């Protein structure tokens, strides 16, 4: 029965309507199967209260999928267009005006301060060095690597800013030359 429970939870992880359909299906199953879902979830470390047998199937599936922690993690960027002084070259970097600028237009360095763009939630604070640059459908993308923790990030080059990103540095990066 464990395999059937795993399949149910896998199917319920899909789109929003999927959970509803699987909950409706769970309503047609025996109380033993519903108890197997509860037991399986508790074995996986999900803390379910004793009154779980009074819950709707939809609420039970949501709890068994344990999405509550993941739901609290921000995924959408926060636009922060702030001026700053580059910690690498010392240049004063003005705001962009149209979109958030988070790297120096002269040396293309940035700081590892965000987990999601603009959230300022990273504890690292290391210098992000540009490692490569490539053309994508929406423009040029700069790939970074953090000197401190080794994390890799990408960011769009800003060619329409005042000042615009240095195209000579972008050209070096796109040819594979270190800057």
pLDDT tens sequence across 120-140: 888 899 999 999 998 888 788
pLDDT number for residue 71: 62
Cα angle: 166, vertex 169, 172; to 5 degrees: 150
Tens-digit pLDDT profile for residues 92-115: 999 888 777 889 999 999 999 988
pTM of the full predicted structure?
0.58
Q: Which residues pair with 110 in a beta bridge?
A: 128
Q: Residue 131: helix, strand or coil by DSSP? A: strand
Give CA torsion, residues 133, 92, 88, 77, to 10 deg.
-50
């Amino acid at each position: 029965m464990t395999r059937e429970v795993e399949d149910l939870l896998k199917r319920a992880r899909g789109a929003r309507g999927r959970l509803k359909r699987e909950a409706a299906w769970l309503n047609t199953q025996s109380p033993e199967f519903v108890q197997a879902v509860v037991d399986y979830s508790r074995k996986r470390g999900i803390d379910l209260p004793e009154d779980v047998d009074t819950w709707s199937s939809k609420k039970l599936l949501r709890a068994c999928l344990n999405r509550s922690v993941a739901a609290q993690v921000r995924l959408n960027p926060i636009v922060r267009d702030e001026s700053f002084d580059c910690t690498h070259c010392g240049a004063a970097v003005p705001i962009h005006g149209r979109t958030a600028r988070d790297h120096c237009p002269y040396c293309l360095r940035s700081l590892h301060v965000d987990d999601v763009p603009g959230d300022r939630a990273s504890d690292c604070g290391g210098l992000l060095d540009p490692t490569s640059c490539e053309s994508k459908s929406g423009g040029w993308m700069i790939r970074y690597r953090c000197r401190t923790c080794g994390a890799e990030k990408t960011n769009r080059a800003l060619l329409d800013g005042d000042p615009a990103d240095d195209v000579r540095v972008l050209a070096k990066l796109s040819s594979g030359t270190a800057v």
